[in-house]
Amino acid sequence: MLVLEDLRFAYPEQVESYAFTMEARASEITAISGTSGSGKSTLLDLIGGFAVASDGSLSLDGEDLLPLPPEGRPLSLLLQSESLFEHLTVARNVALGLPNADRKAKQQIGEALEQVGLEGLEDRRAAALSGGQKQRVALARTLLRDKRLLLLDEPFSALDEETRAATRQLVRSLTRQQNWITILVSHNADDVRALADRHYVIRDKRLEQIPVEPIARSS
């Protein structure tokens, strides 16, 4: 479980600091919403280590994450832009998730691509993929990184509605299968309704847990 206890941060021009308290559990998707500028990206930066907290605690299964640099934290980050190298093939882009190349790499890449529904596209260049396919490549790379935490920052906003729905379902399925602690930041109410197991909203620089809207979702 990821636990934030009064995790504080303030930009130089701010009088009052953010103070974040929340829990996020394995195999669940925790959604974070709030108005533009409310602090959603700041929260992800604190979890990822890209911003340094002035006080409070951040732990994963009892381990203190605050002393760890971003590269030392057990997380992957999926953004609105897929962060692929357009000139590289799908397989080469996915291979960037492997800590070291080895003779099992080809098999691992193939299995990851199969899990996200892109089998057979190993040799296609990233530039030739659709937006939804690019996000699936990024998810396949995340599978190979094998990290406990998955941070999603508006990951579906560039996708059309049909592709968006399919990619949301894939994220939900992979979160369950891989036992990820998935944190979704989104301003889109449909994304939150479709995915959230628990839901926090940022108000006045604080996190407030609110009920998850009851809708039918596939597991």
Asked whether the beta carbons of 40 and 33 are under 8 A apart, the reply is: yes
How do residues 106-122 score in pLDDT, each as one tens digit? Answer: 788 888 888 888 888 99
Q: Helices in 35-160 by DSSP H: which ranges?
A: 40-48, 90-95, 105-115, 131-145
Answering whether pTM is above 0.75, one says yes
Q: Domains of the chain by range and CATH? A: 1-74+147-219 (3.40.50.300), 84-146 (no CATH)
Residue 101: its pLDDT value, please? 57
Return d(Cα 90, Cα 147) in angstroms, integer.
21
By CB atoms closer than 10 A (0-12, 13-18, 19+), residue 193 is middle
> Which residue did the predictor score with more confidence, 100 or 193?
193
pLDDT digits (tens, 9 = 90+) for 119-171: 889 999 999 998 888 888 888 888 888 899 999 998 887 778 888 888 888 88
Question: Phi and psi for 48 in degrees, rounded to 5?
Answer: -80, -15
83: left (phi over 0), alpha (psi -120 to 50) or beta: left
Fill in the DSSP letter of residue 105.
H
